Structure 1
Amino acid sequence: MADQGKFIEAGGINTHYHEEGNGDPLLLIHGSGPGVSAWANWRLVFPILSKHYHLYAPDVVGFGYTEKPKDIQYSVDVWVDHMIAFIEKMGLEKLSIIGNSMGGALALHIANRRPDLVKKLFLMGSVGIEFPITDELDAVWGYTPSLENMKNLIATFSHDQSMADNDDLVELRYQASIQEGFQEAFSAMFPAPRQRHVNALALKEEELRRIEVPVILIHGREDRIIPLEKTSWRLSQIIPNAELHVFPECGHWTQIEKTKPFANQVIDFLSR
């Protein structure tokens, strides 16, 4: 597989997505970094998880190769509505969702609004609760395209600093961030001051307490972008059926830095 997948109209938006495998449906929702797409986010776990599940990984509206409507005002509601429309268009019922970072917040909002659609949630480095924005997240959302800026971001995302010296990875993500329309859409999503975007993605505590499905929260101990203590730890105290697993020597890119252990956690959790 390559980064080019299929297209379907969901909620009036021409939506790019990847689909592979057989078995129970599993939706994978990517995060919000510059140049991100479903494929950039999930390419390493796709070959492993597709042996067990029927995977669907869409590019959320405004990201990747999904349509970027000219007059759209990006917001949590717009993204959540798009993902619900995609689930319904694909005819999926009671599916589990893996959400990465911002994608974790979208997964929580879907479970809050449409509990009928959700079986289990697997959230990694997830937002979805208010916390003081980190300088690192501010830099991610405030990214302006250059190879140097992308190299710095990759160093921030990963605990293993050698990843920032991987010229192929830096070039791949940089090129993704400068494709036509990508940066224009991205810069429109998270204008300064950026604390308000963290707050907008958050659910109220009473909403989190109403989420009854099994939830597993995965977090890298050294995550500098979304700090463990301010997010997943607190979510694990509030969501009734949540458990927390922390990977040592791991930053924000759990699925990239801990690919096999991450996939094993998914398979174990979903097979219970």
Structure 2
Amino acid sequence: MEISPAPQGRYAAADGVQYHYIDLGAGSPAIFLHGGGPGCTAWSDFGPVAPLFAGDRRCFLVDILQYGRSEKCVITGPMWDFHARKTVALMDALDVGRADFVCNSWGGTIALNLAAKYPGRVRSLVITGSMPVFYGPLAPLPEGARRGRNARDAYYGGSGPSWEKMRELMARLEWYDSDAIPDETVTMRYEQSLDLDETALAAASDDPRGEWQDLTDELGRITAPVLFAWGMHDAFLTPDYPLMLARMVPRGHLYVMDHASHHLQEERPHDFHAIVTGFLDQRHD
């Protein structure tokens, strides 16, 4: 599915940092947080599906700090605590008291920690391809749970970023059907990956991203219902992993989508919307 050009975004100051976000639709608020791959933004990850959700919701598509047009700040201390605190500050700046969260990968781990630490701000969560804990139920996680970081380092290393390397990364790790990857999405991700501040962060690998946190203890404290929506062929974490997560949170659910990998919201946006909106429309209070 082709992705249309990004709508005009906005900026908001939140607890000393600046966020970029896109505001679509009207109704109950939903916050979309994207993944952590090179060049990822809210629009690159959710552009194909956002207009569907905006039909009856107010959708805030947020560029996570250190990505897109949001501030490329250096993070010190526990990383997921930092992101959760700043995201709550962004909600305050946007006058959003409580919201649903629809998140991919990196963004989902932020939202899970936020739900544990600030339970009053979260109505429900939809989490795709996230890794909040560093172990699996059946076997060690691929590449010692560093597959994403290794891929980022390989993309920026060697001869540096290129359009071809971006497409290869997406085909190998993010999409089930590599022939379906839109050239426009590859170009969007590649061009964003050339941002000088983003490149500098990537060159430093993990150092500016804060201290890694395992969220095992936090998952058991999440009171909001959580739908783990997973691709059957996720290249990072096979479906036994989200099944484990769904049993670790008190109100966990799991849906596994066939013919999809790490970015099912891009590969199958209409199917993703149907499953997720059905979950969000339930009475969760």
TM-score norm. by structure 2 comes to 0.85
Match of 1:202 in 2: 214
Matches of 2:261 and 2:252 in 1, distance apart?
A: 21
Paired position in structure 2 for 1:37 = 41
Aligned equivalents of 2:39 and 2:237: distance in 1?
Answer: 19
In structure 1, which of residues 148, 158, 163 is the aligned counterpart of residue 164 of structure 2?
148
Amino acid at match of 1:148: E
* Alignment equivalent of 1:5, drawn from 6, 9, 34: 9
Task: Report deviation, 1:238.
Answer: 1.2
CA distance in 2, matches of 1:112, 1:153: 32
Q: Which residue of 2 aligns with 1:171?
A: 187
> 1:189 Cα deviation (Å)?
5.1
Amino acid at match of 1:147: W
Separation of aligned partners in 1, 2:186 and 2:121 = 37
Amino acid at match of 2:37: G
Deviations 1:229-264 (A, max 9, x none): 23x121012111111000011110110111001111
User: Structure 2 CA distance, aligned partners of 1:35 and 1:24?
Assistant: 29
TM-superposed CA distance for 1:188, in Å, is 3.5
1:65 aligns with 2:69: yes
The Cα of 1:39 is off from its aligned counterpart by 1.1
SS at match of 1:181: helix
1:159 pairs with one of 176, 194, 207: 176
User: SS at the partner of 2:196?
Assistant: coil
For 2:175 and 2:29, how far apart are their aligned partners in 1? 29
> Structure 2: 5+ residue runs without aligned partners?
none
* Amino acid in structure 1 at the alignment position of 2:162: S
Return the offset for 1:31.
Answer: 0.9
- 2: distance between equivalents of 1:238 and 1:173? 34
1:4 shift after superposition: 4.2
Moved over 4 A (4+): none
Is the 8 Å Cα contact of residues 64 and 107 (structure 2) preserved in structure 1? Answer: no
Instruction: Check the 8 A contact 2:44/2:188 in 1, yes or no.
Output: no
Distance 2:108 2:203 in 1: 21
Q: Percent same amino acid among aligned pairs? A: 28
SS in 2 for 1:61: coil
Aligned with residue 20 of structure 2, among 16, 21, 27: 16
Aligned equivalents of 1:7, 1:112: Cα separation in 2: 27
RMSD (Å) for aligned C-alpha atoms: 2.3
Q: Secondary structure at the match of 1:105?
A: helix
Change (3 A) 1:62 1:2: same
Q: CA deviation at 1:68?
A: 1.5
CA contact (8 A) 1:123 1:218 kept: yes
Is 1:243 the counterpart of 2:253 in the alignment?
Answer: yes
1:91 to partner: Cα distance: 1.5
**1:206-225 alignment, distance < 5 Å:** 206-225=217-236
Structure 1 gap segments, 5+ residues each: none
Q: Residue 134 of structure 1 corresponds to which residue in structure 2?
A: 142
Structure 1 match to 2:272: 262
Choose the corresponding residue for 2:92, options 88, 92, 96. 88
Q: Give distance in 2, aligned partners of 1:106 and 1:3.
A: 24
8 Å Cα contact 1:7/1:17 also seen in 2: yes
Residue 44 of structure 2 contacts residue 185 of structure 2 at CA under 8 Å; is this kept in 1? Answer: no
How many positions carry a matched residue from both structures? 264
